[in-house]
């Protein structure tokens, strides 16, 4: 084993608590294609290094605190009951798939999970039918590349349980599907996985929810792959409310077919260090995507959002709005790339990064980027970093509010623009309360 492979193996052992050579432990007996996929990912884990600030994509985010930790796989089945996690349930979601520390918990999932309701199939990696299995084989691990990404490679190498959602051609789901990932034990490394395939003319709202019932340290390494066929519609709400000591490194790969539409709203509230990476490919003509995101952090939290939107076909459009509210000594990072290929004429793209600093020690690094190879496009980007406008504070004070109340109201309003774009009312109310609690100053 060469030096790079040895270092990759050492990283694997620290983050996972397993020996990189333990292939028998990592590889299931069937199906053969999944065995091959996981083996290929395991090979990449052995060759890759943990990113450092010398790597361009990580130059604003220091992973040394994560590298110093040791984690282990989950060791026992969950003892949680539905009453223990009822506060996380979404009123509108009749179908709920629950994973505890990365392991599917059928007893906590709703009755609809794992079955077929109106040709919207919500199941796990172990349970698809033969026809669904063909779709899973065609897409799982094919969109979220792991050749150069250690964290996606780790997730794929440990691919035991996954949420699998298939929306049949022409079917519009009547309610959202809630995939709830719960961290219940400190010191655990988990690798949540979602595969969503929306066939032609299908529509679905997916809620991907990462929560914790304790305040200890753990490592969550989720990957989602979302595939939209011709004229499909997907609303994707990604909520990260991990414990304040957790490490969360997530990836979402999206492939859009002709005239399809993908809308994402991501909200990051928890974790000591979090990163969410979007890789969106507009492969079909007339495809549309919209990415809305917000990070609300304080103390010494780090929240890193990376995105790459690739326009490969003509007449596509993309919109991205990312906001960060940063208090204490927290650090927010945004790096967004929009790439317009030579054949993607008449692309319409706009990207905006807006950041609010609430303290003198708060820090933001923002880097929106455009790479354009076509000549008939309309593309814009911009970034702002600043504090609350003194004239707005003065205006509210002149209407009878205290200075603290005026600042709290303006801070909440800044983040509410993103929260308001969540298409699920009860979840929107949950997050509005969380943002209000975080933005309100407590006075004696």
Instruction: Kindly indicate the confidence band of residue 293, based on its pLDDT and cuts at 50, 70 and 90.
Output: very high
pLDDT, tens digit (0-9, with 9 covering 90-100), for 223-257:
999 999 999 999 999 999 999 999 999 999 999 99
**Closest by Cα among 251, 191, 186, 192 to 212:** 186
Question: How many whole angstroms separate alpha carbon 300 and alpha carbon 245?
Answer: 10
Q: What's residue 112's pLDDT?
A: 57
The full length of the chain comes to 444
Instruction: Tell me the two tokens of residue 279.
Output: 């890789």
Residue 35 DSSP code: H
pLDDT, tens digit (0-9, with 9 covering 90-100), for 111-137:
654 444 458 888 888 776 666 788 899
Average pLDDT of span 262-270: 98
Question: How many whole angstroms separate alpha carbon 115 and alpha carbon 122?
Answer: 6
**Closest by Cα among 361, 364, 366, 354 to 411:** 354
Instruction: Tell me the two tokens of residue 202.
Output: 């299908």
Average pLDDT of span 338-361: 96
Instruction: Kindly indicate the confidence band of residue 261, based on its pLDDT and cuts at 50, 70 and 90.
Output: very high
| Run of H or E including 25 | helix 23-26
Q: What's residue 114's pLDDT?
A: 41
**Closest by Cα among 114, 134, 189, 186 to 157:** 189
């Amino acid at each position: 084993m060469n030096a790079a492979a040895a270092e990759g193996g050492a990283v694997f052992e620290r983050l996972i608590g397993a020996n990189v050579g333990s292939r028998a432990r990592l590889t299931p007996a069937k199906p053969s294609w999944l065995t091959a996929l996981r083996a290929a990912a395991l090979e990449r884990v052995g060759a890759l290094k943990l990113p450092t600030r010398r790597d361009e994509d990580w130059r604003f985010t220091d992973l040394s605190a994560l590298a110093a930790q040791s984690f282990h796989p989950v060791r026992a089945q969950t003892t949680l009951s539905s009453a223990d996690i009822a506060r996380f349930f979404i009123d509108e979601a009749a179908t709920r798939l629950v994973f505890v520390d990365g392991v599917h918990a059928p007893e906590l999932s709703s009755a609809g999970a794992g079955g077929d309701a109106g040709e919207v199939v919500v199941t796990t990696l172990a349970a698809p039918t033969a026809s669904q299995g063909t779709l899973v084989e065609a897409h799982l691990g094919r969109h979220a590349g792991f050749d150069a990404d250690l964290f996606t490679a780790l997730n794929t190498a440990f691919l035991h349980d996954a949420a699998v959602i298939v929306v049949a051609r022409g079917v519009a789901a009547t309610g959202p599907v809630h995939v709830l990932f719960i961290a219940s034990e400190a010191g655990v490394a988990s690798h949540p996985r979602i595969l969503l395939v929306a066939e032609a003319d299908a529509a679905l709202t997916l809620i991907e929810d990462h929560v914790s019932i304790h305040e200890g340290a753990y490592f969550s390494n989720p990957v989602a792959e979302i595939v939209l066929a011709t004229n499909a519609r997907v609303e994707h709400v990604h909520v990260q409310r991990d414990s304040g000591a957790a490490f969360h490194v997530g990836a979402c790969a999206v492939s859009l077919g002709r005239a399809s539409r993908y809308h994402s709203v991501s909200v990051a509230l928890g974790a000591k260090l979090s990163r969410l990476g979007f890789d969106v490919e507009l492969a079909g003509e007339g495809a549309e995507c919209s990415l809305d995101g917000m990070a609300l952090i304080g103390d010494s939290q780090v929240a890193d959002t990376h995105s790459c939107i690739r326009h490969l076909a003509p007449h596509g459009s993309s919109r991205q709005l990312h906001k960060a509210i940063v208090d204490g000594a927290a650090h927010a990072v945004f790096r967004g790339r929009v790439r317009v290929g030579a054949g993607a004429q008449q692309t319409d793209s706009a990207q905006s990064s807006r950041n609010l600093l609430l303290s003198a020690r708060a820090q933001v690094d923002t880097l929106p980027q455009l790479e354009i190879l076509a000549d008939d496009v309309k593309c814009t980007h911009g970034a702002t970093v600043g504090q609350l406008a003194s004239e707005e504070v003065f205006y509210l004070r002149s209407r009878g509010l205290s200075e603290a109340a005026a600042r709290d109201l303006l801070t909440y309003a800044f983040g509410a623009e993103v929260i308001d774009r969540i298409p699920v009312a009860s979840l929107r109310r949950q997050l509005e309360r969380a943002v209000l609690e975080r933005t309100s100053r407590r006075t004696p």
